Amino acid sequence: MKRKYLMTPGPSPVPLFVRDALSKEILHHRTDEFRQILKYVSEGLGYVFCTKNPVLTLASSGTGAMEAAVSNLFSYRDKVITISGGKFGERWSEIAKALGLEVVEMKIEWGLAPSCEEIKKILDDNKDAKGILTTLCETSTASVYDIEAIGKLTREREILLVVDAISGLGQDKLLTDKWGVDAAVGGSQKGFMLTPGLGFITLSKKAQSAVEDSKLAKYYFDLKKALKSYDESDTPFTPSVSLIVALKEVLEHIKKEGIENRWVRFGKMAVATREAARALGLKLFSRNPSASVTAIMSPTGIKSSDIVKTLRKSYGLSIAGGQDEAKDKIFRIAHMGWINEQDLIMCFSFLEQVLKKFGYKFKSGESISRLQEVFYD
Amino acid sequence: MKRKYLMTPGPSPVPLFVRDALSKEILHHRTDEFRQILKYVSEGLGYVFCTKNPVLTLASSGTGAMEAAVSNLFSYRDKVITISGGKFGERWSEIAKALGLEVVEMKIEWGLAPSCEEIKKILDDNKDAKGILTTLCETSTASVYDIEAIGKLTREREILLVVDAISGLGQDKLLTDKWGVDAAVGGSQKGFMLTPGLGFITLSKKAQSAVEDSKLAKYYFDLKKALKSYDESDTPFTPSVSLIVALKEVLEHIKKEGIENRWVRFGKMAVATREAARALGLKLFSRNPSASVTAIMSPTGIKSSDIVKTLRKSYGLSIAGGQDEAKDKIFRIAHMGWINEQDLIMCFSFLEQVLKKFGYKFKSGESISRLQEVFYD
């Protein structure tokens, strides 16, 4: 019997206590019972996002919440700056273009994070830009961006700072209010340990007034309606009831550990993963590695997609390969949500077997020793 | 111990076998295993919608799929006709207006269905209209519209016939292909016995070519992308994995009974519900009653919202009240999805107690006798 292990950066594993909650008897959403759950969930999301402002829950994937950010904060032909150093930065550009905005793309090399000097320059060169759309953890390159530093630049200007925190939230530190983030977007299937199907969005006071002014066409993702319903612990359209019920359990779990403790714990897991890779003589892809996922360069002559396929086929372990220009070059190991230290030990034990099979030379067990040292010494 | 009973027209009850499937271990969506499930689900949806054309599954509520229909089939300032005889007909108008279309509203009295003569006239008067947006079961009035007849009028014209089948599908007969429906929209939380969070949309050949031509802005609901992914049993964005896994079980269940048999069975449940109401001397609200839900007029002097509240508070039974202009006038009992004959007997038994409490006079047990006669004689 082959067991299955999921260590991809979304969906990430859904623990039994959450799956049990998913299978509870269905509630009607226009009842006090459900409204109380939604209220708890909204407050709990505020805790995770580190915001006192509303966090809206949408029945969509994270991409739906990204579209909601764009369609509710801006108007036709508004200029926005996007930071594009991976697949999810590119997604901001695609959405903004699809909705008719003027997009100034700040392209950075995959694997790098944007420098503050460059951001300052692009802000100075585009003083008429209404928003800057960026990413907390760029999943495709496993890089974390310095949102705190970007916030320092944007706070003193009129511009809105919009952050895709979908894969980073819960592992990579994000202080939405303190850092001056106007809208942060999340999804259920990463740090929240849930099945996909919920999108989240925070709105600062400045963002809420931008929502009032926005003239882009929208209906399902109309956040003006959603904010009104939010005040009554309600939603404008039928919410994804069972996922919200399960999210309540997730948030209780996260609160119990404490969000700061989680940042520290995942930070340590990320350090351990990098050290383990180096112990095998492997190189890392990102120069600003995230606490949520690690991208490792495949050894010369071995396609990363072959490593990923063999791990899945021979050991039941799912990790992620590279996308687009990183295809065949990198493989990515997630440490987010429910994934823990022992999962990483299991993962590197399989990885060593596969690398051996492909003829790559290293000292057997070295990665495991290194992980154990970081975790337990 | 008070038990809880859910007989609202969405969410409707989720049976244990579906809840068990919801709580299965999470799958990664970019795997053959998930693609096979999605393929099965797409074919099964085709069976329920009675179409050979693609049925796309979206991570959204049914309203999201309604927006997808409008944003993908039309362009800015296109003229569309909406049939508005209840809250969900009105939703078509709202969506179309929000997205910048020119809307010709055919208003009909709540509780009525549109007449073919009127539809023919409005089609003749608006030969430049690109689409007609209507409803299979108008949930707010519990009325079924004659889509077959409307299809006969639209098929010989250029116009697209778009049908919101969210609450009717599975109980009220719908032959998407045979009747010439170009796009039919569904949702997971009604006849499909699932928790909310999935929207569905069918596209005829004519609709598929309209998707190619449409110029309205969209990203998350871009059906051109979704059709492309569909051909590879994939989705453009992260799908709602657990709901799709559970939907597979639902579709197996529906296929086993047979969709035609379900139409007959729910049709009989609807007849029984109407007869039971009449046996208590109550009047029906709709002149074209649906097989999915029945709207009953509250007796003079009794607010329907009081009946609904008391049923919930004293007996744990949730049914629906009236919305907007039918508020306080009607109460609505669903017979869809997992709801069966015995649920109706339980429902009317509680209803008799509540009506008695409010001083309404009728012969005790009369509704139950009538239900039993229809079901078992």
Q: Touching check for B233 and chain A: CB below 8 Å?
A: no
C-alpha to C-alpha distance for B151 and B136, rounded to whole angstroms: 12
What Å distances lie between residue A331 and A167, A342, A371, CA to CA?
A: 16, 19, 18
According to DSSP H, which parts of B23-103 are helical? 32-49, 62-73, 87-98
Three-class secondary structure of residue B223 per DSSP: helix
Mutate to test the interface with A, among B60, B66, B75, B90 (most CBs of A within 10 A): B60
Contact A221, A71 (CB under 8 A): yes
The mean pLDDT value of chain A amounts to 97
What lies within 8 Å, CB to CB, of A23 at 6+ separation is A242, B19, B20, B22, B23
Q: What are phi and psi of A271, to 5 degrees?
A: -60, -45
Residues of chain B with pLDDT under 50: none
> Closest partner residue to A64 among B6, B220, B318, by Cβ?
B220
Contact B10, B332 (CB under 8 A): no
Neighbouring CB atoms inside 10 A of B306's CB total 16
A312: chain B residues, CB-CB within 8 Å: 31
Bridging pattern class, strands A160-164 and A131-135: parallel
C-alpha to C-alpha distance for A242 and A175, rounded to whole angstroms: 28
Q: What are phi and psi of A139, to 5 degrees?
A: -55, -35
- A26 and B8 in contact by Cβ < 8 A? no
Token readout for B258 is 């047979």
Q: Which residues between 53 and 72 in chain B have a beta carbon less than 8 angstroms from any beta carbon of chain A?
A: 59-64, 67
CB contacts < 8 Å between A and B, how many?
Answer: 158
Three-class secondary structure of residue B236 per DSSP: coil
Give the pTM: 0.96
Mutate to test the interface with B, among A60, A74, A234 (most CBs of B within 10 A): A60
Chain B residue with CA closest to A216: the answer is: B99
B189: chain A residues, CB-CB within 8 Å: 238, 241
Residue B325: DSSP 8-state: G
- B195 and A242 in contact by Cβ < 8 A? yes
Three-class secondary structure assignment of A305-350: HHHHHHHHHHHCEECECCCHHHCCCEEEEECCCCCCHHHHHHHHHH
Residues of chain A with pLDDT under 50: none
Enumerate the β-bridge partners of residue A129: none
- A11 and B19 in contact by Cβ < 8 A? no
> Closest partner residue to A220 among B67, B197, B237, by Cβ?
B67
Q: What are phi and psi of A10, to 5 degrees?
A: 100, 125
Tell me: the pLDDT tens digits for B252-298?
999 999 999 999 999 999 999 999 999 999 999 999 999 999 999 99
Bridging pattern class, strands A293-297 and A330-334: antiparallel
What Å distances lie between residue B1 and A66, B4, B314, B315, B316, CA to CA?
A: 45, 10, 12, 10, 10
A61: chain B residues, CB-CB within 8 Å: 59, 220, 237-240
For residue A54, the model assigns a pLDDT of 98
C-alpha to C-alpha distance for B128 and A298, rounded to whole angstroms: 59
C-alpha to C-alpha distance for A261 and B69, rounded to whole angstroms: 45
- B237 and A63 in contact by Cβ < 8 A? yes
CA-nearest of B16, B2, B5, B3 to B339 is B5
**Residues A198-237 as b or e (16 or more Cβ within 10 Å = b):** bbbbbbbebbbebbeebebbbbbbbbeebbeebeebbbbb
A237: chain B residues, CB-CB within 8 Å: 61, 63-64
- A29 and B11 in contact by Cβ < 8 A? yes
Q: Which residues between 125 and 154 in chain B have a beta carbon less than 8 angstroms from any beta carbon of chain A?
A: none
For residue B377, the model assigns a pLDDT of 85
Contact A245, A264 (CB under 8 A): no
CA-nearest of A192, A203, A198, A101 to A160 is A203
For residue B316, the model assigns a pLDDT of 94
Q: What are phi and psi of B103, to 5 degrees?
A: -110, 125
Q: Calculate ∠ Cα A330-A336-A338, nearest 5°.
A: 130
Chain A residue with CA closest to B94: the answer is: A219
Tell me: the pLDDT tens digits for A323-376?
999 999 999 999 999 999 999 999 999 999 999 999 999 999 999 999 999 999
Chain B residue with CA closest to A242: the answer is: B195
> Closest partner residue to B197 among A217, A243, A318, by Cβ?
A243
A318: chain B residues, CB-CB within 8 Å: 28, 31
For residue B1, the model assigns a pLDDT of 62
> Closest partner residue to A60 among B60, B100, B312, by Cβ?
B60
Q: Which residues between 244 and 283 in chain B have a beta carbon less than 8 angstroms from any beta carbon of chain A?
A: none
Domains annotated on chain A, with CATH: 5-10+259-376 (3.90.1150.10), 16-257 (3.40.640.10)
Q: Touching check for A98 and chain B: CB below 8 Å?
A: yes
Q: Touching check for B29 and chain A: CB below 8 Å?
A: yes
- A25 and B4 in contact by Cβ < 8 A? yes
Q: Touching check for A222 and chain B: CB below 8 Å?
A: yes
- B63 and A14 in contact by Cβ < 8 A? no
